[in-house]
A and B are shown apart, each in its own frame.
Chain A
């Protein structure tokens, strides 16, 4: 009988052990030899000193998983290969992960991926469903491991932590004092009480990820720089649109475009899509993960969109100046004008 080749992407979850167990068991059902590829894909911030510790953790996980495979395989001959993916290029969303897995699978002639239902490689957004969709897009067969796990509904609630409470306390206290009078002692006292109650009860559902002590204030500061820039762009676009609307001939040229944005899911993508919609002339119609479908009204707005100045600004806000200097979507070939039927 032929040897079965399987690919198992791992991440540090409660169900990773069960997934490996299932992968080995199901692969050995119809074969007596097993070639098991264990991979850890690391997200895009795998650079720099912080990245080294991430890679270190990934290698430890791979080591543990390799010993599980040998344990589960028993006497059957099994060869285990491990790899850390995504060290060379940035992985943003499900599409990049799926492509990375597909490349790896292509190299080793693997035809089946076993997925951990809780798979979450360092990104905040739920990963399983979009990843499954992208895997079938790239033509890779996958199998979801049936695992037992604690009830799902806890996902909404993050872990309570001091950082979350601290951040939420000052945010709500600040908001209270803006609405009230920051110099009046009564407002100061009641504000502290209200902010205390809010931060104690709601801190674990306000932030899905705990705010970083250094990065989050930096992001807020950079967001402060971003707002004037955005307003400038809005005014510019408003004038351009007004001229077009008021001309009797009304020279509009509406078209649908698809732009693959290189920003992470969650807050960065929300900021980008909202900024695109705020500037008249471009309107985000759909956002399927990183694939934004944008309706553009006039050619100059389309050019601006393809030049990706807003995308660079959003990257600046969330990741700093270094990551802001990337090729424009046009140069990357991430832009496309599509027909209305392709919505």
Chain B
């Protein structure tokens, strides 16, 4: 009986570590993307990765670590609000960029330093 309990705790621990590792990975990819991509529109794509999968997986790990208790519901709620506010913010940035006359970088532009407005 105690074997099963320790096994379950081990599995839970491993799952938390894996989720956190993937969360960190996607946050890292998103940072690399923000640094490498040419202009504000392309960067807005990858910036949202941090919020969706980065924060999503990290919060999933938190929920798993907390176990079945009230605070777990908070993390789900948090994720829900992040999923509503993140695209709104990304859209606001892209829209204001478009309105202030920034034209998106395209493949055949020689200038890799995209937004040189």
Interface residues of A, Cβ cutoff 8 Å to B: 178-179, 181, 231, 234-235, 238, 241-242, 245-246, 250, 252-256, 273-278, 280-286, 293, 295, 297, 340-341, 343
Interface residues of B in 27-70 (CB under 8 A from A): 29, 32-33, 36-39, 41-42, 44-46, 48-49, 52-53, 56, 70
Query: Is A280 within 8 A of B95, CB to CB?
Result: no
Residue of B nearest to A293 (CB): B98
Bound-state CA distance A240–B44 (Å) is 16
Instruction: List A contacts of B29 (CB < 8 A).
Output: 241-242, 245-246
**Residues of chain A lying within 8 A (CB to CB) of residue B106:** 254-255, 340
- Contact assessment for A254 and B83 in the assembled complex, using a CB-CB cutoff below 8 Å: no
Contact of B86 among A178, A278, A282 (CB under 8 A): A278
Contacts A255-B106, A343-B103; is A286 near B83 (CB within 8 Å)? no
The answer on a CB contact under 8 Å between A284 and B52 is no
Name B89's closest neighbour in chain A (CB-CB): A277
| Contact, CB under 8 Å: A340 / B42 | no
Q: Give 4 closest A-B pairs by Cβ, nearest first.
A: A340-B103, A277-B87, A274-B87, A245-B33
Residues on the B chain within 8 Å of A285, using CB:
41, 91, 94-95, 97-98
**Size of interface on B: residues with Cβ below 8 Å to A:** 38
User: B49 touching A254 by the CB < 8 A rule?
Assistant: no
Nearest residue (CB) in A for B39 is A254
Is B41 in contact with A341, judged by CB distance below 8 angstroms? no
Assuming A245-B33, A246-B29, A274-B84, is B44 touching A283 (CB within 8 A)?
yes
- Given A178-B73, A245-B33, A273 contacting B104 (CB threshold 8 A): no
Contact of A235 among B53, B97, B107 (CB under 8 A): B53
Partner pick for B91 among A178, A254, A284, CB 8 A cutoff: A284
Contact of B52 among A238, A250, A286, A343 (CB under 8 A): A238
Given contacts A245-B33, A277-B90, 11 further A-B contacts (CB under 8 A): A234-B52, A234-B53, A241-B45, A241-B46, A252-B38, A274-B88, A283-B44, A283-B91, A285-B98, A286-B95, A295-B41
